[in-house]
Amino acid sequence: MQENNNPLLRQIQLKKEEMFAFARDTGFNSVETVSCSQELDKLIYEYQISAQTVQTEVKKEKIHFRQLFWFLHRPQKAAGSFDT
């Protein structure tokens, strides 16, 4: 996982380290390890939802930019021409 200033990524990293420590000390199937794993799953899900929201917003901005670009660069009709 890439180092980032995102606090959620930091929480994920810390929870992962905690889970590994529980697994090492109490076993993979211990209540502590499984509980920590479930908490990690929730954090990862939360991160995926937030990343998906950001991607959706970026796509919307790109669409708006394309529409604006098209509007500003659309062909102009010659002065005095009429549609028939």
Q: Which CATH number fits domain 7-72: 3.30.70, 4.10.280, 2.40.50, 3.30.1490?
A: 4.10.280
Q: pLDDT tens-digit profile of 18-69?
A: 999 999 999 999 999 999 999 999 999 999 998 888 777 777 777 777 777 7
Measured between alpha carbons, how far is 21 from 18 in angstroms, rounded to an integer?
Answer: 5
Contacts of 1 (CB under 8 A, 6+ apart): 9, 12, 13
The model's pTM is: 0.62
Burial class (CB in 10 A: 0-12, 13-18, 19+), 63: exposed
User: At 57, phi and psi to the nearest 5?
Assistant: -65, -40
Q: What is the pLDDT of residue 73?
A: 77
